[in-house]
Chains A and B, each alone.
Chain A
Amino acid sequence: MTTISAPAGTRRRTKASSGATSLWTPTPMTRLVLAVTIIISAFPLYYMIVIASRTNTEATDMPPPFLPGGNLGENVQRVLSNPDAHYLTGLTNSLIIACTVTVSVVLISTFAGFAFARLQFKGGKVLLLLVLLTMMVPLQQMGIVPLYRLMVSLEWVGSIKAVILPFLLNGFGVFLMTQYTQQAVPNELVEAARVDGASTLRIWWNVVLPAVRPGMGVLGINTFMLIWNDFMWPLIVLTPDNPTVQVAINSLNAKYGTDYVLIFSGTLMSILPLIVVFIAFGRQIIGGLMEGAVKA
C-alpha cells in the first residue's frame, strides 16, 4: 500500500519545491531508454506472431520477414491435429493443473498466514522460520529423484496428480500471506470478534478473508503463472501422450525441429492465457510485485 501511494507523495513534494522538479522530470535520454526497452520487450512476442502466421519457406527467407502473413489459421490447425504433440490435451491439462494448484495454494497460504500473523501458539515462531528457510532451498531440483520414485511406487507416473500434488508446497505463499495479514487485519478486529464469541474459523471467514482478498489475488496470479510455465517436473513425470502445454511444445520442438511455423504457432497459443491474465490484472501484478519486494 505504502509503495503505491508513494508516487503521489513525490508529485506533491516536487511541486512544492521548484528547485527539485528537474530531478524527477525525465530527460530525453530517459525516454529513449524506456522506449528502446519496451521495443526489445515486445519484439520477440511480435516475432512469434510473425513466424506463426507465415509458411516455412517464408520463415527461412533472407532477409527474415518482419510483418505477419496469412497462414495463422492453417498453422494452428496443424498444431491441433499433430499426432505427436497432443496439444489440446496439454492445454486442458495445464489449465486443470494451474487452476487446482492456484486455488489450493491460496487457501493453504491464507490459513497459515492467519495463524502466523494473528494467533498466538507455541512453536509458531519456529515454524514460520522453517518456512523462510525452505524458501531458500530449490526443492524441485534437489528432490526430483526420490519424488519420481515415489510417483513410480504410487503408480502416478503419467497422471496429472503427480504434477499437482508436489506443486502445492509453496513457502512463498505462506510468507506473503503472513505479511499481508499482519498489515491488513488489525489485531483489535480479531479480538473484538473473539469477544463477540466468534470461533477461530468464523473469524477467518468473516474478518480475515474479506480483508486479505487483494493479497490472495496477487498470490493467485503469481502461482498461476509459475505453474503454467513449469517445465522440468512435468517433463520427467508425464508421458508425451498426456502432457502439459510446455511438454507438448517440447515434443514438437524435439520431433519437428525445422518446422518453425508449427512450433511457433504452438508456442503462441501457449502464452495466450498468460497474456489474458496480464491484460486483466496488470495493475495488480505490478502493485503486488512492488509491495512484496519492499516487505521482503
Chain B
Amino acid sequence: MSLHVDALPPSRRRAKSSSGRSFLTWLDLKAAPYLLVSPYYILFLVFGLFPLAFTLYYSFFDYDLTGTVEWTGLGNYAAMLGDSAFWRAVVNTLAMFLIATVPQMLLALLLANALNKRMKFQLFVRLGVLLPLVTSVVAVAVVFTQLYGRDWGVVNWVLGWFGADPIDWKAERLPSWLAIATMVDWRWTGYNAIIFLAGMQTIPKDLYEAASIDGASRRRQFWQITVPMLRPTMIFVVLNSTIGGLTLFAEPTTFYNGNVHGGTTSQFQTVSMFIFEQGFREFDYGYASAAAWLLFLLILIGSAINFLLIRRIGGNR
C-alpha cells in the first residue's frame, strides 16, 4: 500500500480514483490549494495591484486645489523632469543612500567577521549588536536629532574637545546628510552584520585551513575567501538596503520635527517626502503619482546597478 502511495503524487492519485464522486472530494483536493492561497491574492488585488495601476492612471491627470481634474497625458512627467525641487530630492536621496550604504556594508562585513570567532557570551554579544533594530525608527531619529543639536548636542560637544566650532547639522546639505546617514547606519549595520554572519557560517572551514597552511594571512583570507563566498548574501543585503535607502522617509522627516519639507530649503528632503508633500500637502495627486513611478524607476535602476556591481566582486578571482 505504502509503496503504491509513494509512486504517485497524492493529489493526482486521489483525483483519478474519485473522479465524479462527491463535491466535497473535489473541494478538498482540487479547490483547497486555491482556497488556501486566496486570502493573500485577494489582499494583493485590493491593496497591491489596484493602487499600483491607479497610481499610473492618476499620473496622467492634473489635479488642483479647487478640485478640477484634467487629462494632461505625460504632462506631469515632463514638468517633473524640469522641476528643480524634484531633482533636489533625487540628489538628496542618492547622496544619503551612498553616504549611508558604503561604510555600512564595510562595517557590517568587519563586524560579522568579528562575530564569527569563538567566544563566550555569544548570544549576549549578538543581541547587543542587534539592539538598534528593536528601536523604532522615529525613536532613533528623535534621539539622534538631540545628539546632533546645534547648541546642546553631544556630537558638537565632543567635536569641541578638538577645537571645532559647533556645526549647525540641520542647516546645510552635507552635514544634514551625514547626520541622517548615521541614523540609518546605527539602526541597520548590526542587522546586516548578523545576516553576513549567517552567510559566513555556510563557508566550508576547510578553505581557511587550506589557505593558512599555504601561508595566506588573515587579511588575505578575508578578502579572497570570505568576501567572494559571501556574494549571494551580499546581493540579498544590498538589494534590501537599496529599497530601504531609496524610500527613506521617517528619519529625515523626524529630523525636521515631523515636517516633510526636509529643512528650510529642502536640503534633506527625500523622494518619498517629496511624494508625500505633493500628494498630501499640495493635494496634487497626479504629480505625486508621477513621482511615485519615477521613484520606482530609480529603485529598479539602483537595484540593477548594485546587482551587477556585486556580481563583479570576487567574480574574477
Check B33 for interface membership: any CB of A closer than 8 A: yes
> How far, in Å, is A179 (CB) from chain B's closest CB?
13
Check B295 for interface membership: any CB of A closer than 8 A: yes
> How far, in Å, is B261 (CB) from chain A's closest CB?
12
Could you give, for residues 117-134 of chain A, a 1 whenever the CB lies within 8 Å of some chain B CB and a 0 otherwise?
001110010010011001
C-alpha spacing A47/B125, complex, angstroms: 20
Which applies to chain A's interface (DSSP): helix, strand, loop or mixed? Answer: helix
B-binding segment of A70-78, A79-87, A188-196: A188-196
Check A159 for interface membership: any CB of B closer than 8 A: no
Could you give, for residues 105-148 of chain B, a 1 whenever the CB lies within 8 Å of some chain A CB and a 0 otherwise?
00000110011111100110111111111111111101110110
A-binding segment of B34-42, B78-86, B171-179, B308-316: B34-42
Which chain B residue shows the least CB distance to A26? B117
Q: Are B54 and A146 in contact (CB under 8 A)?
A: yes
Could you give, for residues 9-37 of chain B, a 1 whenever the CB lies within 8 Å of some chain A CB and a 0 otherwise?
11110100000000000001110111011
* Total number of B residues with any Cβ neighbor in A under 8 Å: 109
> How far, in Å, is A197 (CB) from chain B's closest CB?
10
A142 touching B152 in the complex, CB below 8 Å, given contacts A286-B127, A291-B198: no
C-alpha spacing A118/B235, complex, angstroms: 28
Q: Are B254 and A250 in contact (CB under 8 A)?
A: yes
* Total number of A residues with any Cβ neighbor in B under 8 Å: 115
Q: Are A146 and B50 in contact (CB under 8 A)?
A: yes
A51 touching B146 in the complex, CB below 8 Å, given contacts A34-B114, A194-B10, A253-B258: yes
Q: Are A253 and B257 in contact (CB under 8 A)?
A: yes
Check B276 for interface membership: any CB of A closer than 8 A: yes
Q: Are A168 and B111 in contact (CB under 8 A)?
A: no
Check A103 for interface membership: any CB of B closer than 8 A: no
Check A1 for interface membership: any CB of B closer than 8 A: no
A44 touching B209 in the complex, CB below 8 Å, given contacts A11-B118, A191-B5, A201-B32: no
Instruction: Select one of B47, B135, B142 contacting A168, CB under 8 A.
Output: B47
Q: Are B276 and A111 in contact (CB under 8 A)?
A: no
C-alpha spacing A270/B141, complex, angstroms: 13
Instruction: Select one of B6, B39, B154 contacting A111, CB under 8 A.
Output: B39
Between A146, A195, A254, A282, the greatest number of chain B beta carbons within 10 A of the residue's beta carbon is seen for A146
Between B30, B110, B201, B295, the greatest number of chain A beta carbons within 10 A of the residue's beta carbon is seen for B201
C-alpha spacing A149/B285, complex, angstroms: 10
Chain B contacts for A51, CB-based, 8 A: 146
Check A212 for interface membership: any CB of B closer than 8 A: no
Q: Are A236 and B128 in contact (CB under 8 A)?
A: no
A236 touching B280 in the complex, CB below 8 Å, given contacts A64-B157, A289-B191: yes
What are 24 A-to-B residue pairs whose CB atoms are below 8 Å? A24-B117, A30-B117, A33-B110, A37-B111, A44-B135, A47-B146, A60-B151, A120-B9, A131-B40, A138-B243, A138-B299, A141-B249, A141-B275, A148-B279, A168-B43, A174-B40, A192-B5, A204-B36, A251-B258, A253-B258, A264-B146, A289-B195, A291-B198, A293-B233
The 5 closest A-B pairs by CB, nearest first: A143-B51, A146-B54, A290-B198, A121-B33, A38-B128
